[in-house]
Chains A and B, each alone.
Chain A
Amino acid sequence: MALLETKNLGISFGGLRAVNAFDISVEKGQLYGLIGPNGAGKTTIFNLLTGVYQPDEGAILLDGVNLTGKKTIEICKAGIARTFQNIRLFHDMPVLDNVKVGLHNHYPYSTFEGILRLPRYHKVEKEMNAKAMELLEVFGLEKYADYKAENLPYGQQRKLEIARAMATNPKLLLLDEPAAGMNPNETGELMETIRFVRDRFEMTILLIEHDMKLVAGICEKLTVLNFGEVLAQGETQEVLNDPHVITAYLGE
């Protein structure tokens, strides 16, 4: 059974049909790409999947569990984590704390225990620090642990966002234009990181991207969106050679 499945997903904003009859099926461990021209509804689909918007119709299933109509927090707990097109870090907090916020729900102690610094506080904080440092090391960010997130170089901020998303221990990772604003070197490094995350954590990844080199390089399957509708779907090379896709998006 597929890890993520959507059936006939749709949403309108006023008279605009942003997403219509969207079906997708992502297998466990797959690197899946979602591409299409600007305004095709890609980010809207991410927002539907993470509960930022509620769909007008259709259903979202993660591992067979129906997530339709759930709130963002519940969806996060169910196992979908995401990054954002325009980076959304906790900019005024240290890099380490950014990841620790991601770990929040997995390392509980009460506010009261935190204020009085009871033994549980010290124990849990220690575990949390160790886990957060481990994640930072995976992404090569450990030397930045004390830096304010906003002071990181751009490429590292993207990585930190992925690290924070991974801290929530998701089943499915959604990456919204991870290579936006990166130079070719950084994009190359990012491709390595994405592959590495998939292999190391056996993660399922759905990503939106405009960089065709990255898409062709790492995605196993693709869905092309145009005006909120699925234009083509299938193996990466097949889709990229599809004449409809070439006219609508890639250009002759």
Chain B
Amino acid sequence: MKVNKSKVSKTTKNDLITYGMVILTYIVVQLLVSTGHVSSLIQGLLVPFCTYVIVAVALNLTVGILGELSLGHAGFMCVGAFASAVFSLAFKEALPGGFRFFLALLIGAASAALVGFLVGIPVLRLRGDYLAIVTLAFGEIIKNIINALYLGVDSNGVHFSMKDALSLHMEEDGLMLIKGAQGVTGTPNDSDFTVGVILILVTLFIVLNFIHSRTGRAVMSIRDNRIAAESVGINVTKYKLIAFTVSASLAGVAGVLYAHNLSTLNALPKNFGYNMSIMILVFVVLGGIGNIRGSIVAAVLLTLLPEVLRGLSDYRMLIYSIVLIVMMIFNWSPNAVFFRKRLQQKLLPGRKAEKEAV
């Protein structure tokens, strides 16, 4: 039983390092901000950082743990963002800030989970490239629907149209919630860096505990060998749907954070389009598929990089792409992986016992 116990503490230790890393970064950044070492540009990026970290971790659950390629996570973010923004706007006066944001989070997560579940039922029958294409299309559909949606509320109740604002026939006292392509205006700014970091920690807590639970093992067994998983009695459809839904709802949480950082929320190709979905996938792939801590680091670095390189405007994208390629080689090339292992064994001889014994 001794072997067994040390294993449990090893994964727990790993998780604690991840939490600790986030908390430490938070403290350092807060110190730098309060001593005035952070430019206003970077300060404005702090909440987007958190958003991207959350959605990268969420996508890693689908790509790394479930082993399916999803290019629709920007779509789930979009659902979470708009559902919560509409809620917060409608109850701006009626509810106190903190409580309202908490409810907004639940609504964002629940609506994204619901959409994820509904999309997942047909989509998870597909594999690999097909799944990627369908989820990609889904993300675009969500964005376009929201761009055509008009929603308002007045004394007669809720009005809804896909045509234009006039066809809502609102009373004088009515409040426009979604104005088609102009999006949602006037969402209360409830999210800040602290809230973002707390949400990162909550996301990590959910994802890491999920992975180390019975459900997580079932999901990973499907990833590793679907036929064998079925043969030992794992309900493949059920566990795929659970993982996909949890992943979608966490992407929704990222959307809530994003929406409450902006006074105007639009569904643009830039923030909720397929570029964004691919960007999130890049975070996951470069951070290491299935490696939660890697996703966090990659999301922060790759969001920071274009801003840091702004001074070199002409060469910005060139350097960015070179960094991507170098990271890819460093992470995935067999030679590089071997080199890293050797280096690790040289520096930390204690760790090699397990790998060498095989």
- The interface of chain A, by Cβ under 8 A from chain B, is 50, 52, 72-73, 76-77, 81-82, 84, 88-94, 96-98, 100-102, 104-105, 107-109, 111, 114-117, 121, 124-125, 128-130, 133, 142-143, 145-147, 151-153, 164-165, 167-168
The reply on B349 being an interface residue by CB < 8 A is: no
**Interface contact A89-B224, CB-CB below 8 Å:** yes
In angstroms, Cα B357 to Cα A146, docked, is: 12
Enumerate chain B residues within 8 angstroms of A130, measured Cβ to Cβ.
1
CB distance from B1 to the nearest CB of A (A): 6
Can you give 19 contacting A-B residue pairs, CB < 8 Å?
Answer: A73-B230, A73-B234, A81-B231, A81-B232, A89-B225, A91-B224, A93-B221, A96-B4, A100-B217, A111-B246, A114-B209, A114-B213, A114-B214, A115-B205, A115-B213, A146-B354, A151-B355, A165-B231, A168-B233
Enumerate chain B residues within 8 angstroms of A89, measured Cβ to Cβ.
224-225, 228
With A89-B228, A104-B214, A146-B354 in contact, is A73–B4 under 8 Å at CB?
no
Give the total of B residues in contact with A, Cβ under 8 Å: 37
Picked from A72, A93, A111, the residue with its CB within 8 Å of the CB of B220 is A93
**Interface contact B232-A152, CB-CB below 8 Å:** no
**A-facing residues in B1-29 (Cβ within 8 Å):** 1, 3-4, 6-8
Which chain A residue has the least Cβ–Cβ distance from B209?
A115
In angstroms, Cα B224 to Cα A39, docked, is: 27
In angstroms, Cα B227 to Cα A137, docked, is: 26
Enumerate chain A residues within 8 angstroms of B4, measured Cβ to Cβ.
96, 129, 133, 145
Q: Mark B202-220, 1 if CB is under 8 A from A, else 0.
A: 0001100110111111101
**Interface contact B233-A77, CB-CB below 8 Å:** yes
CB distance from A126 to the nearest CB of B (A): 10
**Interface contact A143-B232, CB-CB below 8 Å:** no
CB distance from A59 to the nearest CB of B (A): 21
CB distance from A200 to the nearest CB of B (A): 20
With A92-B224, A104-B214, A121-B213 in contact, is A145–B3 under 8 Å at CB?
yes
In angstroms, Cα B230 to Cα A90, docked, is: 12
Enumerate chain B residues within 8 angstroms of A52, measured Cβ to Cβ.
227
Enumerate chain B residues within 8 angstroms of A100, measured Cβ to Cβ.
214, 217
Enumerate chain A residues within 8 angstroms of B214, measured Cβ to Cβ.
100, 104, 107-109, 114, 124-125, 128
In angstroms, Cα B193 to Cα A126, docked, is: 38
Enumerate chain A residues within 8 angstroms of B8, measured Cβ to Cβ.
129
Query: Count the A-B residue pairs with Cβ separation under 8 angstroms: how many?
Result: 120
Q: Which of A90, A108, A153 has the most CB of B within 10 A?
A: A90
**Interface contact B242-A164, CB-CB below 8 Å:** no
The reply on B358 being an interface residue by CB < 8 A is: yes
The reply on B264 being an interface residue by CB < 8 A is: no
Which chain B residue has the least Cβ–Cβ distance from A132?
B4
Enumerate chain A residues within 8 angstroms of B225, measured Cβ to Cβ.
88-91
**A-facing residues in B221-261 (Cβ within 8 Å):** 221, 223-225, 227-235, 242, 246
**A-facing residues in B108-145 (Cβ within 8 Å):** none
**Interface contact B233-A76, CB-CB below 8 Å:** yes
Picked from A84, A93, A124, the residue with its CB within 8 Å of the CB of B217 is A93
In angstroms, Cα B3 to Cα A91, docked, is: 20
**Interface contact B224-A104, CB-CB below 8 Å:** no
In angstroms, Cα B218 to Cα A168, docked, is: 14
With A104-B233, A145-B3 in contact, is A90–B221 under 8 Å at CB?
yes
**Interface contact B228-A111, CB-CB below 8 Å:** no
**Interface contact A72-B215, CB-CB below 8 Å:** no
CB distance from A91 to the nearest CB of B (A): 6
In angstroms, Cα B216 to Cα A104, docked, is: 11
Enumerate chain A residues within 8 angstroms of B6, measured Cβ to Cβ.
146
In angstroms, Cα B225 to Cα A93, docked, is: 11
Picked from B205, B220, B355, B358, the residue with its CB within 8 Å of the CB of A152 is B358
- The interface of chain B, by Cβ under 8 A from chain A, is 1, 3-4, 6-8, 205-206, 209-210, 212-218, 220-221, 223-225, 227-235, 242, 246, 290, 354-355, 358
Enumerate chain B residues within 8 angstroms of A88, measured Cβ to Cβ.
225, 227-228, 231
With A115-B209, A147-B358 in contact, is A101–B7 under 8 Å at CB?
no
Which chain A residue has the least Cβ–Cβ distance from B212?
A114
**Interface contact A90-B229, CB-CB below 8 Å:** yes
Enumerate chain B residues within 8 angstroms of A145, measured Cβ to Cβ.
3-4, 7
CB distance from B320 to the nearest CB of A (A): 31
Enumerate chain A residues within 8 angstroms of B232, measured Cβ to Cβ.
76, 81, 101-102, 104, 164-165, 167-168
Which chain B residue has the least Cβ–Cβ distance from A111?
B215
CB distance from A190 to the nearest CB of B (A): 19
**Interface contact A104-B217, CB-CB below 8 Å:** yes
In angstroms, Cα B210 to Cα A94, docked, is: 17
**Can you name 12 extra interface pairs (CB under 8 A) apart from A115-B213, A167-B232?**
A72-B230, A73-B230, A88-B228, A92-B290, A94-B7, A100-B214, A104-B234, A114-B213, A115-B205, A124-B214, A146-B6, A168-B232
Enumerate chain A residues within 8 angstroms of B355, measured Cβ to Cβ.
151
Enumerate chain B residues within 8 angstroms of A116, measured Cβ to Cβ.
209
Which chain A residue has the least Cβ–Cβ distance from B216?
A114
CB distance from B129 to the nearest CB of A (A): 21
CB distance from B6 to the nearest CB of A (A): 8
Which chain B residue has the least Cβ–Cβ distance from A91?
B224
CB distance from A128 to the nearest CB of B (A): 8
Enumerate chain A residues within 8 angstroms of B227, measured Cβ to Cβ.
52, 84, 88
In angstroms, Cα B79 to Cα A34, docked, is: 56
